């Protein structure tokens, strides 16, 4: 009696093992690339997989196949509100800076995010790109890189990536607060951490600490600075 189809480890060309499937001999149609087969795991779960490339047979005559990448469902878009004020800050800063950014803490998700505006060659030009502020991952070249957490469209919808790992609601909530009062919320990071919310450099005096950003960044983003205590209404109206 032949064994049922099952997962099996296959040796990769780079020396690393990858997961594939083992299919028992069949008296009917021979399997081909693109076929969808059902695998029953040891735990009794049924999983549908798509065959990619044949990798020969084992000593029992079972055919070995690599697996096609499995598409994962995209996470639902979450509304965050009108981005007009946020985009206005970026537009002002773009007159002075090549790559302006806003650093925003998300306490409920225990993450600090970095916001930038996607350029004309991006998949969604003009949207706000949301990444982790720290470089905790690597790119295709092995260089340190920021994890991409999603984007906010110009219509105010947050499209989270799978890397949010359950943090999407908290990030969307914080982005909504930013959309409602961009200058005030962006500056909160600087007031709490002592680092400018735009350039991430340490704040050097009480006036900068009071508003959450330095004098130079205030000029770049068109925000008030050096007028005593931080006034949310004044910044919001700028």
Domains of the chain, by residue range, sit at 6-67, 78-236
Task: Please name the helix (run of DSSP H) or strand (run of DSSP E) that holds residue 183, with its range, or none.
Answer: helix 182-193
Residue 185 has pLDDT above 80, yes or no: yes
Highest mean predicted confidence (pLDDT) among 59-68, 146-155, 209-218, 225-234: 146-155
Strand partners, 21: 7, 65
pLDDT digits (tens, 9 = 90+) for 123-155: 999 999 999 999 988 776 778 899 999 999 999
pLDDT tier for residue 111 given thresholds of 50, 70 and 90: very high
**Helix or strand or coil: residue 39?**
strand
* Token reading at 233: 């209404």
> Above 50 in pLDDT, residue 59?
yes
The H or E element spanning position 23 is strand 17-23
- Per the prediction, the chain carries an average pLDDT of 86
pLDDT in tens, 88-98: 999 999 999 99
| Token pair listed for 124 | 């969604």
Q: For 71, how many CA atoms within 13 A lie in the half-sphere containing its CB?
A: 2
* Residue 237's pLDDT band (cuts 50, 70, 90): very low
Q: Which pLDDT value is given to residue 48?
A: 87
């Amino acid at each position: 009696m032949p064994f049922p189809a099952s997962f099996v480890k296959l040796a990769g060309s780079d020396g690393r093992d990858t997961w594939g499937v083992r299919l028992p001999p069949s008296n009917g149609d021979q399997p081909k690339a693109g076929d969808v087969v059902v695998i029953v795991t040891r735990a009794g779960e049924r999983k549908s997989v798509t065959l990619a490339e044949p990798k020969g047979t084992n000593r029992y005559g079972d055919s070995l196949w690599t697996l096609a990448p499995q598409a994962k469902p995209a996470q639902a878009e979450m509304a965050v509100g009108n981005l007009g004020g946020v985009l206005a800050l970026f537009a002002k800063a773009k007159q002075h800076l090549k790559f302006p950014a806003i650093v925003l803490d998300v306490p409920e998700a225990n993450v600090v995010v970095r916001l930038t505006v996607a350029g004309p060659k991006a998949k969604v030009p003009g949207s706000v790109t949301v990444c982790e502020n720290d470089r905790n991952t690597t790119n295709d070249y092995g260089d340190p890189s920021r994890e991409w957490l999603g984007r906010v469209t110009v219509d105010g919808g947050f499209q989270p990536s799978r890397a949010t790992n359950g943090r999407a609601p908290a990030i969307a909530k914080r982005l909504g607060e930013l959309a409602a009062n961009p200058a005030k919320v962006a500056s909160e990071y600087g007031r709490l951490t002592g680092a400018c919310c735009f350039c991430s450099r340490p704040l050097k005096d009480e006036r900068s600490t009071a508003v959450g950003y330095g004098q130079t960044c205030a000029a770049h983003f068109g925000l008030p600075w050096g007028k005593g205590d931080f006034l949310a209404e004044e910044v919001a109206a700028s």
